Structure 1
Amino acid sequence: MSLVDAAHGRGDSTGADAPSVAETPGRRGVRQVVGAYAALAKPRVIELLLVTTIPAMFLAGREIPSPWLVLATLVGGTMAAGSANALNCVIDTDIDKVMKRTKRRPLVRDSVPQRGALIFGLALGAASFAVLALTVNLLSAILAVATILFYIFVYTLVLKRRTPQNVVWGGAAGCMPVVIGWSAVSGTVEWPALVMFGVIFFWTPPHTWALAMKYREDYERAGVPMLPVVATPEHVAKQIVIYSWVMVGWTLLLAPATSWLYTTFAVVAGAWFLFYAHRLRAAVGRGVETKPMALFHRSNTYLMIVFCALAVDAAIGLPVLGLPF
């Protein structure tokens, strides 16, 4: 969900439920049916993906990109993310049925037939490729399809149920929107896009593990070996701190491609997030009540601050700090 499952997946990283709909076949209105299918796409996850895509497009040109290009990229990207999320729901229906947090999703409530959800997911994927290839460029379209395939075949089918490192490596799918956004503007993939990819890559574990600490019993009941299920709270909190430090340090690698404005926000926001990561670890170490969801929600705010700072920095057009060599 994260952005994995999220994209994260994020999926599991948001806990978004399907809207309440009437379950009696033949008695649901068009609005309720559309709402059930829309819920398969997990729109709350997509919102976070868009927050990172637009700043990447701004940074790629160091200016405000064409509104039409932004719109086309967001439409294609939204379809791709929706495709991955819908197909994930099809595969993980058995898990969703036993997790309290996901028991209201459309396939669990029989609001959408399995076959319909599968067709919907595949159609969205095909549409995303067509939209991006025809209105943006072929590279962005290929990257979008590659992201869907990685999310389904590598994360959902292989990693998620087999290893506590699932969200670490599976989180790569949630990092791809920034690469797609960059390629939409530049037609290439350059080093700043890879750095932005890394920021989200290192952000995903603290974000998702904080959620999993709260819903540990849910994941354990579903047989998903999230780190908080198989490791002690002390170990999980330590890993959250380590990844948080790497994430904050990684954001500073974008300094040569930005100005003092972004760098200042990255440092201040990073210090703010690290404070709460260390506070969580301290609470776990003292054996007092912990509030991992506080860190989970702040991780969303942190990512928004960093990427909004990127967008503003690029839009204003301040002189970049440049490479030190």
Structure 2
Amino acid sequence: MNVVAPPRARETRIGFSRKLRAYVALTKPRVIELLLVTTIPVMILAQGGLPNPWLVLATVIGGALSASSANSFNCYIDRDIDRVMNRTKRRPLVTGELRDGEALAFAWGTGALSILWLGLTTNWLAAALSLGAILFYVFVYTLWLKRRTEQNIIWGGIAGCAPVLIGWAAVTGSLDWPAWILFGVVFLWTPPHYWPLSMKYRDDYESVGVPMLAVVRGRVVVGLQVILYAWATVACSLLLIPVAGMGIVYTLAAVGTGGWFIVEAHRLYSSSLRGDEVKPMRVFHASISYLSLLFVAVGVDPLLPF
């Protein structure tokens, strides 16, 4: 007769490599990659050239630890709805690869380490911004806004803007207008980036009672909001040209990739308006490419002599 081992017994058979992969998955590494894409170019812009490689490495490590902490807290807090949603059912707290206590200890540990690391290797302004980002993402977005209002992702996105400020502060020890403009770009970009994803997984969010905009509003309203925020994002990106004295590379990237992002947003709205098949993931993927190319241009532009 086959005997089914109790959950605790099964957990002891999880090998080191599998456990390590589970911790990595807990941090949402794809989200971290996108956040770090905005950090290094901002440091180059703040320096007006290539900053000290050690400073860049220290900031990237600190930023990754900070994001890991925030994302791990998020997975711990949302483990109840993650068990229900198809999109999140493979997360390590759902599969049992990590216990709740392990995830919580990891979240606290990486958070504390990120603050201490940034404070000792960069400056305490960068460390304070890291702390603020973690607290905002955990308490304001995950615990307060996410399950209560359709505006959740708008204000919750503030935490995702923190790497821009951390990168600038690490180089200059202050926060200047170019940093705040790029903060605004990421802030305005977050809704048209995330709302298409919530359209695709609308049934998931509805099943757990999370009032994402796509759940509580129709496709036409969501499409219109995506357009408005896409236009606002591009307009904000153009402000950097006169404020930071950006050159031709950034200008062409901001106009060209921004125009493409807006076109994709209009396509989503038009499809929703006509009742055609809606392909929200086109806008989702376009938004990632747009932000990545824009920030690459932020980093390349100061290195060129024209």
TM bucket normalised to smaller: over 0.9
Aligned counterpart for 2:256 among listed residues 235, 250, 268: 268
Partner of residue 309, structure 1: 297
CA distance in 2, matches of 1:245, 1:186: 30
Aligned counterpart for 2:214 among listed residues 219, 224, 228: 228
Q: Does 1:192 align with 2:178?
A: yes
Partner of residue 299, structure 1: 287
Partner of residue 157, structure 1: 143
Q: Does 1:103 align with 2:72?
A: no
Cα-to-partner distance string for 1:88-128 (whole Å, 9 max, x where unaligned): 11100011111100000000111111011101000000100
Give 1:149 shift: 0.4
Counterpart of 1:227 in structure 2: which amino acid? Answer: L
Partner of residue 29, structure 1: 15
CA contact under 8 A between 1:63 and 1:317: conserved in structure 2? no
Cα-to-partner distance string for 1:267-299 (whole Å, 9 max, x where unaligned): 011111111110111111110101000110110
Give 1:263 shift: 1.0
- Out of 121-130 and 28-37, give the one that drifted further: 28-37
TM-score (norm 1): 0.90
Aligned counterpart for 1:127 among listed residues 80, 99, 113: 113
CA contact under 8 A between 1:234 and 1:281: conserved in structure 2? yes
Gaps of 5+ in 1: 1-22, 319-325
Give 1:260 shift: 2.2
Partner of residue 6, structure 2: none
CA distance in 2, matches of 1:231, 1:206: 15
CA contact under 8 A between 2:234 and 2:258: conserved in structure 1? yes
Partner of residue 247, structure 2: 259
- Structure with more of its chain in helix, by fraction: 2
Cα-to-partner distance string for 1:74-93 (whole Å, 9 max, x where unaligned): 00000000000001111000
CA distance in 2, matches of 1:115, 1:221: 27
CA distance in 2, matches of 1:102, 1:317: 47
Give 1:317 shift: 4.8
Aligned counterpart for 1:238 among listed residues 213, 220, 224: 224
Give 1:316 shift: 2.0
CA contact under 8 A between 1:46 and 1:78: conserved in structure 2? yes
Report % sequence identity: 54
Quote the RMSD (CA, aligned, Å).
0.9
Give 1:67 shift: 0.7
Counterpart of 1:274 in structure 2: which amino acid? Answer: I
CA distance in 2, matches of 1:316, 1:66: 18
CA distance in 1, matches of 2:303, 2:89: 43
CA distance in 2, matches of 1:228, 1:291: 14
TM-score (norm 2): 0.95
Q: Does 1:286 align with 2:278?
A: no
Aligned counterpart for 1:53 among listed residues 36, 39, 43: 39
Counterpart of 1:87 in structure 2: which amino acid? Answer: F
Counterpart of 2:264 in structure 1: which amino acid? Answer: Y
Give 1:62 shift: 1.2
Q: Looking at CA atoms only, which structure, 1 or 2, has the larger radius of gyration? A: 2
Residue 65 of structure 1: SS of its match in structure 2?
coil
Counterpart of 1:187 in structure 2: which amino acid? Answer: G
How many residues in Structure 1 have an aligned counterpart in Structure 2? 296
Give 1:24 shift: 2.3
The list of structure 1 runs, each at least 4 consecutive aligned residues, that deviate by more than 3 angstroms after superposition, is none
